[in-house]
Amino acid sequence: MALSSLQAVPDDVPREAAPSSVDLRSEFEAVDIASILAQLDKELIGLVPVKTRIREIASLLLVERIRRKMSLASTYPTLHMSFTGNPGTGKTTVALRTAGILHRLGFVRRGHVINVTRDDLVGQYIGHTAPKTKEILKKAMGGVLFIDEAYYLYRPENERDYGQEAIEILLQVMESQREDLVVILAGYSDRMERFFGSNPGFRSRIAHHIDFPDYTDAELLSIAEMMLAEQNYQFSSDARDAFIRYIALRKGQPLFSNARSIRNALDRIRLRQANRLVCDLDRILTSDELTSIEAGDVLASRVFSKGSDTSARRS
């Protein structure tokens, strides 16, 4: 083979000299995280501490990025996070946004999110766990691995549980491939606390612990109105008042899961609205009638009739 006739490619291309000063604004605009943060503000109601924290992390990473450009940064920052909070407080949504921010700033290469739970990581028999966990980790490389209800990984009551094996592989990759993968753990606050207590390795490898507060009644109402607006519906003023009462009652009942309960309630309200319209077939419908939700649609909920009775939990 005429290998010698091929041009040799120089191995050491002269590197650009590190700049000694950087225009912060142009750097900020270049990565365009402002639009993601604005979207976060607009689409997520409430969650002020979470937004503040995400903003802080974004600023830190922006500065870190500039430091790297000026060859001032020494180590790769640890970005693994833990999101704790009650169900329906927006943990998954924020995880998706965080992946977007990390991607824009160049701290993850692809910006996709792999959403897993215990079942996806832990196997059913000896020797099943390691390949399964590694498979998921490979899929998540270059993006974000979101482990929902992470505390189920560790089952202290069963000492032969395979979850421990998955935890060890996770910890190893979280440490050795920090630049390839960001892990976000999520779950209820108290159980996550116990989980970290029994797995101190996890706590120390996670840089950002973010707590998601519950929504207030007013926030839940604006969430409901936003969800309705997205689907081209709106409350009549009576229905709005009824829904405010609905929120207050529903919150006192068991299995309340914040925004998720609101979404389910709205789905059922739409059902009742459609049923009400179909009941009277001999008329001409206007678009106002199709989009407006009346008090009756809300008040027909079992939440009102049964009060705090447990049988009303799915209403």
Partner 1 sequence: MRITQGCFSFLPDLTGDQIRSQVQYCLDKGWAVNIEFTDDPHPRNTYWEMWGLPMFDLHDAAGIMRELAECRRVYGDRYIRISGFDSSHGWESVRISFIVNRPAYEGGFRLDRQEAVGRNIRYSTRAYAAERPEGERYQS
Q: Which stretch binds partner 1 (CB under 8 A): 141-149, 151-159, 164-172, 236-244?
A: 141-149
Q: Decide: is 110 part of the binding site for partner 1 (CB under 8 A).
A: yes
What is d(CA 58, CA 97) in angstroms, rounded to the nearest whole number? 11
The pairing of strands 182-187 and 81-85 is parallel
CB of 10 to partner 1, least distance (A): 13
Using the rule CB under 8 A, is 147 a contact of partner 1? no
Give the residue with the Cβ less far from partner 1, 140 or 228. Answer: 140
- DSSP secondary structure of 260-291: HHHHHHHHHHHHHHHHHHHH--SSPPPHHHHH
**78: how many CB neighbours lie within 10 A of its CB?**
15
Q: Specify the stretch interacting with partner 1 by CB under 8 A; choose among 47-55, 93-101, 137-145, 244-252.
A: 137-145
Judged by beta carbon, residue 170 or residue 293, the one nearer partner 1 is 170
Judged by CB under 8 A, which stretch of 78-86, 109-117, 192-200, 293-301 contacts partner 1? 109-117
Within 13 Å and on the Cβ side, how many CA atoms surround 162?
A: 16
Of 181, 175, 152, the C-alpha closest to 164 is: 152
CB of 115 to partner 1, least distance (A): 13
DSSP 8-class letter at 301: S
For position 109 contacting partner 1 by CB under 8 A, the verdict is yes
Q: Map tokens 């992390």 to a residue.
A: 57
Which residue among 66, 101, 105, 181 contacts partner 1 (CB under 8 A)? 181
- Indicate the residue among 37 and 141 with the shorter CB distance to partner 1: 141
Q: What is the DSSP letter of 160?
A: T
The two three-digit tokens of residue 76, written as one number: 């790769």
Q: What is the DSSP letter of 124?
A: S
Q: Which residues pair with 185 in a beta bridge?
A: 82, 147
141, 169, 171, 295: which one binds partner 1 (CB under 8 A): 141
Q: Of 46, 85, 88, 143, which one interacts with partner 1 (CB under 8 A)?
A: 143
Q: Which residues form the interface with partner 1 (CB under 8 A)? A: 1, 3, 6, 109-110, 112, 131, 135, 137-139, 141-143, 177, 180-181
